Structure 1
Amino acid sequence: MAITVTVVDDHPAILSGVRAWYAEAATPIEVIAAGTTADVAWTPPGDQADVVVLDLNVGAGDAPYQRAVRRLVDADRKVIVYTMQDSEDVALTCLDLGVSAFLTKAEGREHLVAATISAVENRPYLPPTLAGAIAADLGPSQPRLSDREREVLTQWFQCESKQLVADRMNITPRTVDTYLDRVRVKYANVGRPAPTKAALLARAIQDGLVGLDDL
């Protein structure tokens, strides 16, 4: 069965290009709705797309993208931000809000397709450009993680579920949760909360805890 996508973008050329990229992908991906505002994503529950690809130039007023992202994420939608903005602050804000991935439009077809598949599989995705920018900004306050916490963290980034991590490491899913909770608490204690999987990956790359080769 094909992955379904709603694309929110105000540029016709981008919409056409994204449709073509998905149509050419080895994994079946179908754009079932497209429009210039996030309202297009609000279809009846049975008709909602698996993934929403969202440009940040939507809405009006102060920080309109934050409202659009928060509304979609709060409704348990998988959101990929696809934007011309390349600000690390904007990227981390979106990741903290709970998006599945943040891509700049310079990333192109390969990364948008890969990010879409990763979102459906519940895996975070950071393209090289953003990963490099995040890694270059070494935060002043890094949590001190144990070797076991790092191992669980890396395994979780590689897996679709905590059950798979548990199977790989011969531990229980509850133990996986315990380790991940400890990591989140440590990040919160140094003033760098990471409430989502994608946000935690961004923090881990920032701090050199994992690299792209680990994923």
Structure 2
Amino acid sequence: MATGHITVTVIDDHPAVVAGVEFWYSTADPPIEVVATGPTAKVAWTPPGDTADVVVFDLQLPGQPTPAYGDLRRLIDAGRQVIVYSMREDEQAALTCLDLGAFTFLTKAEGKAHLVAATVAAASDLPYTPPALAGALGTNRRSDRPRLSEREENVLLQWFQSESKELAAEKLGITTGTLSTYLDRVRVKYANVGRQARTKAALVARAIQDGLIEVDDL
């Protein structure tokens, strides 16, 4: 989890997009450093791109199946925080990226404010739902939602609204260990229906998809 200076690797084959993203980050407050850029996912596996806090990833990459879900999955499986930043605006692509474990999905039309805010959130492992993604989630009520108890739902919502497990546990009047146990149970239930939720951001997406919370609740 980043606590100060944030570093980013940008995977995109359009020089104008890369230049624009670098400029936006350089003028953020505080500035965000782009440590590596490249047209393929290889840049995220080689120094210094392999050490970046956040990976900004375009789904349309040269020489790769389109969309590049395979590269996205490999990055996520390696524990990287990936923001999908794409020209695609279809809801299915957004939901597929979330199901694979992407931190969030941004369209390139959403601009500097959302990209910077999402990057800061990703580096801190705090959920971020931009407008386009909120629309996709809001129209998607999954039929394969797991059965969560009322207590599990309450624990989820409190954790989503808190900066740490410690604060959430204090507000709920339980120990941090007990809170973690509830979250582990929820993750197991999602895994059992084939919808992994390894990160806080992924659990937020699942809860919104299933109508357990609204974006305005966060």
Shorter-chain TM-score bucket reads 0.7 to 0.9
Paired with 1:95 and 1:58, the residues of 2 have a C-alpha distance of: 19
CA deviation digits over 1:55-111, x for unaligned, max 9?
A: 111253545622211222222221111011223332222222222111111211111
In structure 2, the gaps of 5 or more residues are none
Q: Are residue 158 (structure 1) and residue 158 (structure 2) matched?
A: no
Given that residues 56 and 65 in structure 1 are in contact (C-alpha distance below 8 angstroms), is that contact kept between their aligned partners in structure 2?
Answer: yes
Q: 1:212 aligns with which of 206, 212, 215?
A: 215
Residue 171 of structure 1 and its aligned partner are, at CA, apart by 1.6
* Number of aligned residues: 214
Q: Identify the residue that residue 58 of structure 2 maps to in structure 1.
A: 55
Paired with 1:184 and 1:46, the residues of 2 have a C-alpha distance of: 30
The correspondence of residues 110-129 of structure 1 with structure 2, limited to 5 A, is: 110-129=113-132
Q: Identify the residue that residue 179 of structure 1 maps to in structure 2.
A: 182
Paired with 1:46 and 1:130, the residues of 2 have a C-alpha distance of: 27
Q: Quick check: 60-69 or 71-80, which moved more?
A: 60-69
Q: Quick check: 62-71 or 73-82, which moved more?
A: 62-71
Q: Identify the residue that residue 25 of structure 1 maps to in structure 2.
A: 28
Q: Identify the residue that residue 90 of structure 1 maps to in structure 2.
A: 93
Given that residues 95 and 136 in structure 2 are in contact (C-alpha distance below 8 angstroms), is that contact kept between their aligned partners in structure 1?
Answer: no
Q: 1:196 aligns with which of 195, 198, 207?
A: 198
Q: Are residue 103 (structure 1) and residue 113 (structure 2) matched?
A: no
- Indicate the RMSD between aligned Cα atoms, in angstroms: 2.3
The amino acid of 1:110's aligned partner reads A
Residue 171 of structure 2 aligns to a residue whose secondary structure is: helix
Paired with 1:169 and 1:47, the residues of 2 have a C-alpha distance of: 38
Q: Quick check: 133-142 or 12-21, which moved more?
A: 133-142
CA deviation digits over 1:88-147, x for unaligned, max 9?
A: 332222222222111111211111111101111111222122112211122234444333
Q: 1:65 aligns with which of 61, 64, 68?
A: 68
Paired with 2:47 and 2:28, the residues of 1 have a C-alpha distance of: 27
Residue 46 of structure 1 and its aligned partner are, at CA, apart by 9.5
Paired with 2:68 and 2:118, the residues of 1 have a C-alpha distance of: 20
Residue 82 of structure 1 aligns to a residue whose secondary structure is: strand
Paired with 1:27 and 1:210, the residues of 2 have a C-alpha distance of: 31
Return closer, same or farther for 1:159/1:179 CA change in 2, 3 Å cut-off. Answer: same
In structure 1, the gaps of 5 or more residues are none
The amino acid of 1:72's aligned partner reads L
Paired with 2:96 and 2:50, the residues of 1 have a C-alpha distance of: 29
Q: Identify the residue that residue 18 of structure 2 maps to in structure 1.
A: 15
Q: Identify the residue that residue 130 of structure 1 maps to in structure 2.
A: 133
**What stretches of structure 1 move > 4 A for 4+ residues in a row?**
none
Identity %: 59
